[in-house]
């Protein structure tokens, strides 16, 4: 966490607290805090499960997270990627798949990155859009977009909504950068319980706040 804080400090000082304009400007940390306000997570400690649950309620979709361990399943579902999101064409429901072989923190980064695509309403290539999204165990190669009723279309599919309303541009590079930013911001904010009284750069030099005691959530659904 200290390494991530140091890595982000310069970026946040340069872009997140500076005035920026333009439809495709980078997502700032202040933008992300506005999103947390909408989700009711601002100023709170939160886990990825909390973030996922609030996204579901805000967007009106189901978001399932699975961790395929079977090597054949990982190759079929993820290819060379560490994570991937599939969306249901009709409902907009999301299935986030994350390699089951990652270390805890690396998995957290990937989970938040893929959830960042859902939050941002990022368009997907039709290869990641299915009909009748299935949510099997994914410990075996049980999920195949073709067998789930692939639409057979090419081009882009636009999600029904994003956390802030306007759809994201059909720009894969832009969407990937925004998902990465949203993931890094979420890890920091969820870990530190960020609040407006520490909204300047001194926040990023402080020691981590003590985390509340209690069991961690590890459920999949």
Going by their DSSP bridges, the two strands 129-130 and 83-88 should be labelled as parallel
Q: Cβ atoms within 10 A of the Cβ of 78, count?
A: 15
What are the residue boundaries of the structural domains of the chain, listed by start? 46-192
Measured CA to CA, the distance from residue 64 to residue 135 in angstroms comes to: 7
Measured CA to CA, the distance from residue 140 to residue 60 in angstroms comes to: 29
Q: Is the pTM of this model over 0.85?
A: no
Q: Is 182 helix (H, G, I), strand (E, B) or coil?
A: helix
Low-confidence ranges of the chain (pLDDT < 70): 1-24, 133-154, 194-221
Please report the pLDDT score of residue 145 as a whole number: 52
pLDDT tens for 56-95 read 999 999 999 999 888 887 888 888 899 999 998 888 899 9
């Amino acid at each position: 966490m200290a390494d991530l804080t140091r890595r982000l400090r310069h970026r946040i000082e340069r872009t997140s607290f500076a005035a920026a304009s333009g439809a495709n400007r980078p997502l700032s940390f202040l933008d992300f805090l506005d999103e947390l306000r909408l989700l009711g997570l601002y100023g709170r400690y939160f886990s990825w499960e909390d973030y996922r649950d609030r996204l579901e309620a805000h967007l009106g979709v189901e978001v399932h997270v699975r961790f395929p361990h079977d090597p054949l399943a990982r190759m079929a579902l993820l290819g060379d990627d560490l994570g991937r999101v599939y969306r249901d064409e009709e409902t907009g429901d999301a299935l986030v798949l994350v390699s089951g072989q990652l270390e805890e923190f690396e998995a957290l980064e990937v989970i938040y990155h893929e959830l960042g695509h859902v939050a941002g309403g990022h368009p997907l290539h039709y290869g990641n859009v299915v009909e009748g999204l299935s949510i099997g165990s994914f410990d075996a190669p049980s999920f195949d977009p073709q067998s789930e009723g692939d639409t057979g279309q090419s081009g882009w599919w636009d999600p029904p909504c994003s956390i802030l309303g306007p759809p994201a541009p059909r720009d894969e590079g832009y969407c990937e950068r925004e998902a990465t930013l949203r993931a890094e911001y979420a890890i920091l904010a969820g870990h530190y319980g960020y609040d407006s009284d520490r909204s300047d750069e001194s926040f990023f030099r402080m020691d981590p706040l003590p985390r509340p005691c209690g069991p961690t959530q590890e459920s999949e659904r």
